[in-house]
Structure 1
């Protein structure tokens, strides 16, 4: 894994160099230095799970579909699967840069949010757009001669539309919630998480790998359903860790309570609390002061939401395992099991 990550990071350096000298972007020396700093700060600093998952998934699919068991990937295959992985990491960086501004976040990946840095501020909005516009340039340079190029473009467009749509629902729901917390429900939470998280974090990496093997995505709708469900599970974990996780481990200070987010925790709390407890939630949820946040967290503990989450995680893990075991393709099964193993009982 260490060697794979090293090779993956080497591909980042290649792509960065290409983009900094891409004639499609008219950069002065100062702006080129800015973009390079912005890329290094925002793109490679995370766990890189989404990007590496493309390489892992392609490797598993190729090995288990090949007549030569244990066949190694060629340098070209490693490079191209890594390039697709970085396209996802670029989209992730764009989403995080803009999301942090919209949420007024302070830290990300163990460091100050990009927009919080001196002299950056709202320039970060344009930086997010630059990151987003890098992706089609990367795809065109490295995949336009591939038979699946148009399908790749369509896939990235579909996923991006789903993601920004999910973000919009999230933001609008927050505004409605400022008036009436009862608008928050499990169906609303699921709609947000499926669009905002499942598509680009789970479906996109595997879909990219499948296209590289020559498969047609319409032949694997069942795989998509499983990955969407897995992404929903991942977001519930994220909601839980935002409240109960260690900031030193997860790399950020949780702010979902202050930001009035429609999280799994607040939805479950609304389901479980009595009228007196509901008043505590209404009076304190979404307020910035530490005392109000503490009251909400105390209520979560009183409602034993940590135990409720553990039960949810156990049942969801069992359900996903059954769905994966029933999938007809052994190669796809292996990919899905690999994804599930990475997120089950995660701490960050």
Structure 2
């Protein structure tokens, strides 16, 4: 498995390179510092699954320990992946009107940020390509990585419109954590019930409810008060929805075991039993 601490150490030089690029472009210090804060606060504090998976994948494919240069190059690519993801998380929080991310107020809710967060996260995404050009230009891999990030971006956005087995399973996990997750672990307070979202939980509940329970859901689901939220959760409890989800989880995990390749098993292992 990847060396998490060594990976973290690779972030500082990369941010310094980005800030130096800003200075060369003549960006005024206040704006540069503001963006630097956006960058550091939004790519740190998470599980780093994406960045570390880049390192783990390199190790799996090479079947030997990484050289110092290979570790540095893969760490750079891993952090670019984390930055890429951070941009989407900022947008996602704005669209969902989320309150917390990783135990802190969402970036757009912090003092002096607001909806300007959207502009900054766009810059964050664009900046992925600047360091990758510098780090990989000598090996002629820079354009391939730019194409890769572009393709991932397109697929991420189109993926919001499509249902696949993996997406549905991951969505169901998120819906479960929104209702039953420990906010000290997930870093966010669930709002799906108050936001009247069409989640896995409410759809499955509607398939099992009786007339009285349907009445409770009609009156309480989508209301912004704790009493209504507790009534909805009581319906979930009466219908043993946590047990229903547990059976669904086992079924979907078993069905995904056909992905035997080591890299895919590694990724599945990171998310299969996640609690945040």
Q: TM-score by structure 2 length? A: 0.90
Indicate yes or no: 2:273 matched with 1:345. Answer: yes
Indicate yes or no: 2:16 matched with 1:80. Answer: no
Distance in 2 of aligned mates of 1:102 and 1:278: 29
**In 2 relative to 1, CA 28–75 (structure 1 residues): closer, same or farther, beyond 3 Å?**
same
In the other structure, the counterpart of 2:217 is 281
Deviations 1:118-162 (A, max 9, x none): 222222122111111111212222233445443432222122123
Distance in 1 of aligned mates of 2:215 and 2:127: 48
Distance in 2 of aligned mates of 1:26 and 1:282: 56
In the other structure, the counterpart of 1:240 is 176
Distance in 1 of aligned mates of 2:70 and 2:169: 31
**How far is the alpha carbon of 1:308 from its aligned partner?**
1.0
In the other structure, the counterpart of 2:133 is 140
**How far is the alpha carbon of 1:53 from its aligned partner?**
0.8
**In 2 relative to 1, CA 164–306 (structure 1 residues): closer, same or farther, beyond 3 Å?**
same
Deviations 1:147-188 (A, max 9, x none): 544343222212212323445x5xxxxxxxxxxxxxxxxxxx
Q: CA RMSD in A?
A: 2.1
Distance in 2 of aligned mates of 1:315 and 1:300: 20
Distance in 1 of aligned mates of 2:239 and 2:106: 33
Indicate yes or no: 2:45 matched with 1:109. Answer: no
- Cα pair 1:230 1:340 within 8 Å, conserved: no
Select which of 178, 184, 194 maps to 1:258: 194
Distance in 1 of aligned mates of 2:131 and 2:194: 38
Distance in 2 of aligned mates of 1:315 and 1:100: 30
Select which of 122, 129, 148 maps to 2:122: 129
Give secondary structure in 1 for the equivalent of 2:177: helix
**How far is the alpha carbon of 1:230 from its aligned partner?**
4.2
**How far is the alpha carbon of 1:80 from its aligned partner?**
1.6
Give secondary structure in 1 for the equivalent of 2:21: coil
- Cα pair 1:258 1:288 within 8 Å, conserved: yes
Indicate yes or no: 2:59 matched with 1:59. Answer: yes
Distance in 2 of aligned mates of 1:319 and 1:231: 14
Deviations 1:219-266 (A, max 9, x none): xxxxxxxxxx44543332121111011111111111112222232212
Deviations 1:72-129 (A, max 9, x none): 1111211121122112211221112122122222111011111222222222122111
**In 2 relative to 1, CA 134–25 (structure 1 residues): closer, same or farther, beyond 3 Å?**
farther
Distance in 1 of aligned mates of 2:219 and 2:138: 58
**How far is the alpha carbon of 1:30 from its aligned partner?**
1.2
Unaligned stretches of 5+ in structure 2?
none
Give secondary structure in 2 for the equivalent of 1:253: coil
In the other structure, the counterpart of 1:324 is 259
In the other structure, the counterpart of 2:32 is 32
Unaligned stretches of 5+ in structure 1?
64-70, 170-190, 195-228, 326-332
